[in-house]
Amino acid sequence: MSDLHSEINRRRTFAIISHPDAGKTTLTEKFLLYGGAIQSAGSVKGKQSDKHAVSDWMDLEKQRGISITSSVLQFEYEGYCINLLDTPGHQDFSEDTYRTLMAADSAVMVIDAAKGIEPQTRKLFKVCAMRDIPIFTFINKMDREARDPFDLLDELEHEFGIGTYPMNWPIGCGQSFKGVYDRDAKSILSFSDSHRGRERIRGVDCDIRDTEKLDALIGEKQRVELCEQVELLDGASFDFDLEAVRHGKLSPVFFGSALNNFGVEPFLEHFLKMTTPPLPRRAGEVTVDPFDERFTAFVFKIQANMNKAHRDRIAFMRICSGRFDRAKEYYHVQGDKTAKLSQPQQMMASEREVIDEAYAGDIIGIFDPGIFSIGDTVCERGMKLRFDGIPTFAPEHFAVVEQVDSMKRKQFAKGMNQIAQEGAIQIFFEPNSGLERVIVGVVGVLQFEVLEYRLKNEYGCDLRRTDLAYQQIRWVKDPATDMKKLKLSHDTKWVQDFRGNNLLIFTSEWAIRWVLEDNPGLELLEFNRGQEEGQS
C-alpha cells in the first residue's frame, strides 16, 4: 500500500483564479512548460480560433474560439503530480467556474499589479473562502507600471479579511523593475537575468545591510527604498504561519511577471511545498481520509454533448480517496446501482486520454448515459456515504424564456428540465403563474446562448428570450417565511425554484439592503447549501 500512499502524497490539486487579462493563461502556460507538458507557449488556449483550444467539443465553442467549460490539466513537476483546474473568464464565466473550485484543494490567485482586486477575483475568492482553502497570490505584470505593493497588500487584507505574507518583495516596477528580494533566502533575483526562457534565474545572495553589493546590483536610490520597505515589512507584516496558510487565513504573496517568466518557478516551488496532498472531505457525519484505500469520488461537473452524434455527456469527478481501477465496479450512491465506470479519461494538457487507474486528488471524466447529477457520490461497493452537496451559486443574469412554437410545449419542458438538472442553468417560476413562463438564471451570459443552441439542436425548439433587469438573487433561509407578508419594492420579485424553495431577485445590491431593512428578521443566503441530494 505504500505505493498508494506515495501516489496520493505527491498529488496537488489546485485552481487558478483571476479576473480576465490578469495573466492566468500566461502563468498556466509557464507552469506547463516547467512540467514539460507542453513544448511552446501559446498552446494552452488560443485567444482566437486559429490557435488550438484545449476543449473544443462543442460547435459553439469552435465558432467562437473560446472554451466554454473549465478544463483540467495534469502534469508532473519534480516528483509532484499536479492537477490544475482552469476557471474560465470573459463571457464563458459560468456556474461551472464556481463548481470547479469545489474540486480544488487550494487556489492560486493572479492579480494584475496595476489593477489590484477586480470583480471576478472578488467573486471567485468568496467561493474559495467559503471552503477555507489555501490561497496563494501571484501579483503579476511587475514589468509594467504597478500600484504601490503596500497598497496592494492592504487591499487584499481589507477586502478579503485575510492576512498576507509577502514571500518576496519587488524592487521597483515598469521601466525601473530590477527584480525581487527573496525574504527567506535573503537574496535578490535580478530581472535583468530573466531570459524569458526556461533557464532558472540564480538568486544573488545579498545581505540587506551590504550597501556596496546592493548598490552595485540595483543602484543607490532603489537600495535605499528597498531597505526602508523591507524594514517596514519585517516590523509590520504578519508572521509566517504555515497552519494559517493551510486554513486559508494567510495568503503567501509573490511578485513577478508571468510573461517574462520571472518569479514563476520559485512561486511553483514554494507553492508545492506549502500546499498539502489531497485533503479529507466531509460526507455528512463521516470524514473521508484521502489515504483510505477505498475509492470515493463526487461529481462536480457534467458536460453535455461533446459528441453531437452520440448525445453523450461526461461527468467529471474528483477522486476523494483511494485508487480508481478501470476494471472494477463501483457504486453510484444516488442511483443505487453498481457498474463499471465507462471510458474513464483524464486531460493531459491538450489531449484526452483513457486511463486505467487514478488516485485521490485526480479528476476523471466518465462517460455518462444520463444517470449522474452534480454532487453525486461514487464509491467502493459496500460503502455507505454521501459527500456534502455542491452549493447552488447565485445567478447574475435573468431572462424570461418561452418557446416560439406553442406545439413544442413538451420538448420545451423536457429540454429545460434536463438542462437545469445538469446544472447548466437554473430555472425559476413566479408563484401562481403558469409553467410556460420560465425565468432562467445564469452566472455568465454565454449560458443563455448555450441554452438556445442546445434547445434548438437537441430538442428542436426555438426560444424567445426577454432579458430582465434583475442582477442579484438570494435564497430565503427560513422555509416557513410567509412570503406574501413580506414588504417588497417594485424592483424585487419573489420566485421559486423547482424544489419549491423561495427566492428573491433584485435589480441591485441596494435593493437587497432595503428588503432586509423593511423586513426585520428576514435572513437571505447567497449560496444555497441545502440541496437535498447533498444531505446524508
Q: Smallest gap, in angstroms, from Cβ of residue 444 to ligand G4P? A: 15
* DSSP, residue by residue, 313-324: EEEEEEEEESEE
Q: Do the beta carbons of residue 506 and residue 472 sit within 8 Å?
A: yes
Q: What is the DSSP code (8-state) at residue 189?
A: E
Compare residues 144 and 414 and give the one whose CB is closer to ligand G4P: 144
Q: What is the DSSP code (8-state) at residue 174?
A: G
Q: Quote the CA–CA distance of 51 and 66 in Å, as a whole number.
A: 10
Compare residues 21 and 56 and give the one whose CB is closer to ligand G4P: 21
Compare residues 257 and 350 and give the one whose CB is closer to ligand G4P: 257
Q: Quote the CA–CA distance of 84 and 366 in Å, as a whole number.
A: 18
Compare residues 23 and 35 and give the one whose CB is closer to ligand G4P: 23
Q: Quote the CA–CA distance of 45 and 52 in Å, as a whole number.
A: 6
Q: Among candidates 390, 394, 424, which has minimal Cα distance to 525?
A: 394
Residues that bind ligand G4P (CB under 6 A): 18, 20-26, 47, 89, 140-141, 143-144, 257-260
Q: Which residue's C-alpha cell is 443566503?
A: 525
Q: Smallest gap, in angstroms, from Cβ of residue 113 to ligand G4P? A: 8
Q: Smallest gap, in angstroms, from Cβ of residue 141 to ligand G4P? A: 4
Q: Smallest gap, in angstroms, from Cβ of residue 110 to ligand G4P? A: 6
Compare residues 147 and 529 and give the one whose CB is closer to ligand G4P: 147
Q: Smallest gap, in angstroms, from Cβ of residue 460 to ligand G4P? A: 36
Q: Smallest gap, in angstroms, from Cβ of residue 19 to ligand G4P? A: 7
Q: What contacts 408, CB < 8 A, 6 or more positions away?
A: 459, 460, 461
- Name the grid cell of 529: 447549501
Strand partners, 527: 393
Please state the three-class secondary structure of 125-160 as a single string: HHHHHHCCCCEEEEEECCCCCCCCHHHHHHHHHHHH
Compare residues 141 and 332 and give the one whose CB is closer to ligand G4P: 141
Compare residues 142 and 302 and give the one whose CB is closer to ligand G4P: 142
Q: Quote the CA–CA distance of 380 and 490 in Å, as a whole number.
A: 52
Q: Smallest gap, in angstroms, from Cβ of residue 160 to ligand G4P? A: 19
- Name the grid cell of 357: 487507474
Q: Among candidates 1, 3, 85, which has minimal Cα distance to 361?
A: 85
Q: Is the dihedral of CA 64, 66, 68, 71 positive or negative?
A: positive
Q: Smallest gap, in angstroms, from Cβ of residue 26 to ligand G4P? A: 3
Compare residues 22 and 32 and give the one whose CB is closer to ligand G4P: 22
